[in-house]
Chain A
Amino acid sequence: MRYLYYGLFVMGAYLILAMFPLFVLLVGPEIPGRGFWRELSVGLGFAGLAMMGLQFFLTGRFQGITSPYGIDVVYHFHRAISLLAFIFLLLHPLMLLFSAPDTLGLLNPVVAPGWITAGSIAFFAFALIVISSLYRLQLGLSYERWRMIHGYVAVAAVTLSLGHMIGVNYYLQGDVKRGLWIAITITWVMALLYIRLVKPLLMHRRPYTIEAVIPERCSSWTLRLRPDGHAGMAFKPGQFVWLTIGKSPFSIREHPFSFSSSAMHPEKLAFTIKELGDFTETIGSVVPGTRAYIDGPYGSFTPDRHPFAGYVFIAGGVGITPVMSILRTFADRHELRPLLLFYGSKEWEEVTFREELELLQGQLNLQVVHVLAEPPQGWTGEQGFIDAEVMGRHLPEKRMDCEYFVCGPLPMQQGIKSALEQLGVPTEQVQSESFNFV
C-alpha cells in the first residue's frame, strides 16, 4: 500500500511538472490569443518540450522515481511518453501551417530567422532520437553508440527548443514568466548534471575489483566482485545493476546485469552473464583485477517486496540468474516457505547451476523441475517447453497462495503468462522482468 500511495504521488508530480509550463504561460498580464488552432499548436509545443525535458528525470535512475514502479516500468513509460511528446511536437508546426499557411515560408532556413531554424533542427533531432531508438537493431547501431547518440542529441534538441521558444518571445514577456521558465530549465539542467557528473563521481568513489571470472555451463560466466575501500552494496535478491567494467564511470559504457549472489553478503557480489551480444561476447576475457563500477541496485523482481506463503519461479536459460540470487539468499536466511522452480533449458549439459540447485533442494523446502527441449536418452523428467500442462502437474493445490516470478526470453515470458492465466493464477501475482527496455 505504501508503494501505491508513493506511486500516485510520483505520477501526480510528473503530471504537474509536465503541465506547469502551460500554467506559467497564463501568469501575469493577459496576452491576446491568436485563434484556437494557433494557440493549440503553441500549447502542444510547450507541453511537448516540457515532456521531453522531464525525460532527464525518467532516465536518471533516481531511486525516488523508480522505487514505486520498478525501473523497467519507468523505462517503458519513458519510451511511450517520448513518442507522445514527439507527436505533440510534430503537431506544433502542422497545426501552425493549418491555421496560418503563410508560415510555410518559415521552414526555409535561408530566409527564416535563426530561432525558427533552431526549432526546425530541434524537431529533426527529436525525430533522430525516436527513429534510432525504435529501429536500433535494424540500423545496426551498437548499444553503446546508440546511447551516446541518444544522450548528446537529446541535450542538443532540448537546448535548441529552448532557443526557439526564447526567440519567438510571445508568451515569455515579463520577469515572472521568464523567471519561472528559467527555474524549469534549471531543474532539467540539474537532473542532467546529476546523471552525467554527480552519479558517476559517486560511483568513482565506490570502486570494485573483479576478483574472479568463473566459467559456467551454457557459455555463461560468473564475475565475482570485491569492494575496494567500502562495505559493498546492500540489495534485495532478484535485483540488478548497471555494470561498468574496465572503463571510467563517466564513459556511460555500462550494461544491466542481475545479481546471482546472496543478498546476505553485500561484500561478495556476483553476476552471471551469458555470451549473447557484442559486449557479453567478451565477458570471458575479462582479466581478474580489472576495475569495475556499479550503479544500482534497481528492480522490483524480488520476493522481499511481495510477501507470500510460497513462491514459484519459472526460469528459462540465463533467466536463472536472479532466481539463483533469491535461492542463495533464502538458503542464508534459513527460509522455510515452500519453493518450486521450473527451469527450462535446451539440453541437460547446458543447465547452468544444476549441481548447486541439487544442493539447494537439500537446504530449502525447494522442488526443482527441469524441462528440457532436447532431453538425453533415458530422460524421465519433463520435456519440451514449460506450458500449462507441465506446470499443472507440479503446482500445489493452493497455487493461489503463491507469488510467481518469471524470468527468461520475452516469447517465453508471454507464453508462461498465458499458461498461468489458464491455470487460474491472478495476473497481479505474476512478476516478470526482462531487459528489453534498453
Chain B
Amino acid sequence: MREKYALHLALASGGLIFLVTILFALVQSPEILSASVQKGAAIPHPFVGYETCDSCHGRAGILPYPVRHLGWSNGSCEGCHVRDDESAP
C-alpha cells in the first residue's frame, strides 16, 4: 500500500513536471501557438558555388552561425534559410 502511495506521488509529480516542460517548450516556440512557421533570414548572396555553407558560416568561419546551429550539416540550411531570388545568378 505504501509502495503504491509512493508510486502515485511520483507519477503525479513527474506528470506535473512534464506538463511544465511542455509549457516551457511552448513558450519558446510561439509559432506552434500562432500556427506560423518561423523562417530564418534569406540567403543574401548567390547560392551556386557557395553550397558548402559552413566554409564561411562554421564556428571557425568569417561569418559564424549561432551556436545553436552546431552539429547541423550543410544540407539542412535551406530548411529555414531560403534563397533570395534577387541575389541568385
A374–B14 CA distance with the chains assembled, in angstroms? 47
> How many of chain A's residues have a CB under 8 angstroms from any CB in B?
53
Do residues A432 and B1 form an inter-chain contact, with CB atoms below 8 A? yes
Residues on the A chain within 8 Å of B1, using CB? 417, 427, 430, 432
Do residues A170 and B17 form an inter-chain contact, with CB atoms below 8 A? no
A263–B27 CA distance with the chains assembled, in angstroms? 55
Do residues B24 and A43 form an inter-chain contact, with CB atoms below 8 A? yes
Residues on the B chain within 8 Å of A371, using CB? none
Task: Identify which of B9, B22, B71, B73 contacts A11 (C-beta below 8 A).
Answer: B9
A76–B9 CA distance with the chains assembled, in angstroms? 10
Instruction: Identify which of residues 54-100 in chain A touch chain B, using a CB-to-CB cut-off of 8 Å.
Output: 69-70, 72-77, 79-81, 84-85, 88, 100
Q: Is A135 an interface residue when CB atoms closer than 8 A count as contact?
A: no
Q: Is A307 an interface residue when CB atoms closer than 8 A count as contact?
A: no
Do residues B72 and A100 form an inter-chain contact, with CB atoms below 8 A? yes
Please list the residues of chain A having a beta carbon within 8 angstroms of any beta carbon in chain B: 11, 14-15, 18-19, 22, 25-26, 31-37, 39-40, 42-44, 47, 51, 69-70, 72-77, 79-81, 84-85, 88, 100, 102-103, 105-106, 113, 116, 168-170, 417, 427, 430, 432-433, 436-437
Given contacts A22-B20, A88-B17, A432-B2, 9 further A-B contacts (CB under 8 A): A11-B9, A15-B17, A36-B31, A39-B24, A47-B20, A80-B11, A85-B14, A102-B72, A106-B71
A-B pairs with beta carbons under 8 Å apart, 28 shown: A14-B13, A18-B17, A22-B20, A22-B21, A33-B25, A33-B27, A35-B31, A35-B38, A36-B28, A36-B32, A42-B25, A76-B2, A76-B10, A77-B10, A79-B6, A80-B10, A80-B11, A84-B11, A84-B14, A100-B71, A103-B71, A103-B72, A105-B71, A106-B71, A169-B67, A170-B68, A430-B1, A432-B2
The 4 closest A-B pairs by CB, nearest first: A76-B6, A33-B28, A80-B10, A84-B14
Please list the residues of chain B having a beta carbon within 8 angstroms of any beta carbon in chain A: 1-3, 5-7, 9-11, 13-14, 16-18, 20-22, 24-32, 38, 67-68, 70-73, 75-76
